[in-house]
Structures are given as C-alpha cells and as structure tokens.
Structure 1
Amino acid sequence: MAGKAEGGGDHREPVNEQAVANLYAAMRSELNQIHTKITELEMEVSEHSLVINAIQPLDPSRRCYRMIGGVLVERTVKEVLPAVLRNKEGLEEVISRLNEALEKKKKEIVEFEAKYKIKIRKADAEVKDESGRKEGTAQGVLVGPAGGSEA
C-alpha cells in the first residue's frame, strides 16, 4: 500500500481546502493509531518481562500454566520460558517496525503541512492554557512531608 500512496499521490491531488483538511485529518488519525498500537505492544512486552523475571529463577521442572488462545494449558517452566522469550522478542521486533512506520508517517505529515501551509492553531492555544491550568491541576494533589507516611 505504501508504494501506491507514494506513486499515486500525485494523481489524487486534493481539489479544495475541505479535501486537504480531510486528507490531513486522516493522516493524523493514522499516526495516532500507530502510536496507540506501539503503546499497547510496549505494555505487552512489559508484562512478558514480568513473567520472565518471575519464572526464570524457578525449578525448570516446576509446573506452570500458560494461556494459549483463551485456554489455560499446563506446562513446565522449562517449556514455557523459551516460548515467552520468543514472544517478547517478536513483540520488540514489531514495535521497532511500527516505530519506523511512525517516523515515516511523521515526515509525510510534515511534508504535507509544508506543501499546503497548514498551521495548527489549537497547539498555540493549548500552550497558553497550560500555564493557567498547571496551577489549577495542582490544587487537587495532596502532598505530605517526606517522612509523613512512615510515622
């Protein structure tokens, strides 16, 4: 699909401002989807790391259970540990590919913004609002002395 978008992009020039805005919104949406997927997979890698750290010191012949496709299966640590390690490596590889796709999409969006002279006003408004919000959000946070919880 990426090849079609690059080669066919010249044939599908937006005809008006609304088409440009729609195309830009679709690109931003795709960027957000990639970012969400990366975050989701990073959480899974973190869970895999927790499992690995928990079962690595155990006796390899010890019984453990693994969820495979919604079914709980009884195995041994010796059988499960390599599979969990492989899954973690696979997830890390997918994350690196998605990060590459994310960077490519960011460049594409920057080029699109430059080509159509798109400026986002919302970002400027948020920067101004953040200075006022910071004080307001801190009001709901209760912070005690450093040694207060130990006493």
Structure 2
Amino acid sequence: MDLEKLKKLREENFLKHKKKKREYYLKSKTKDSPAKYKDFKEIDYSEELNEENFLKNMKLIAKKQKTHIDDRKDQIIKKIEDYKKQKKDYYKENKKERLNYDKAYRERKKEELKEYRKEYYKKNKEKILAKQREKRKQNKE
C-alpha cells in the first residue's frame, strides 16, 4: 500500500469511529433510554421555583438537614474532640521542631523587613522628610 491509501483508510476508520461515538452519545441522551438512577424524575422548575413551593421546599430541606445533624450530633462532637486531642498530641510531639522553625522564620522575616524598610525609605525619602517637618512644626505650635 502506498501512503495515500493508508491516509485514506485511516481517515475512513476515524470517521467510522466518530460516527459510532456520536450515535452512542445521542442514544444516551434520548428520553427512551432507561434512567441512570432508579429514583430519577424530571423536575419542572417553573413549578418548583414559584414563590409558594420554593419557600416550602427550602423549609423542608432545612428541616431534613437539622434532623440529620441532630441524629449525628454525638458522633460529630466525638470527632471534634478526637481531632482536638490528635492535634494537641501532634503539637506536643513536634514542639521543638516547631519552635525552631518559628524562630528561623522570624529571623528571615526580620531581615526581609529591614531590607524592605531601607528600600522604601530610599524611594520615598523626600515625602517622609516633608511629613516629619510638618509634624515638628505642628508640635512646636
């Protein structure tokens, strides 16, 4: 086979694949196909979102969420306490490393802050001096 025939064959195969893929996609989009979820039902948004139903639905959702949280309240509190205890233990174990890191971080930031102040003063020297002169004059008066 020469190159042209191979290119043509490849193009045909690609088009067949594309067509097959499109058919599969369209088949899954049709309403005839079985629903992906067993409790699936279409929602009429004009009815769901009108003023009366919307408020009622929001209250229903809030009530369901509250009952769910109330049912799990003990579990949630226990998880929070476990997390606090775990965090406390972690900090006790790694206290020295954390303190050393914090010290190094403060030193590094102190140097960066000194450099920043020097640069800032160089850039705004005249403005700063003018403000200082005005403050001195006001204090004398």
Q: Which structure has the greater CA radius of gyration?
A: 2
Structure number having the greater helix percentage: 2
TM-score (norm 2): 0.26
Structure number having the greater strand percentage: 1
TM-score (norm 1): 0.25
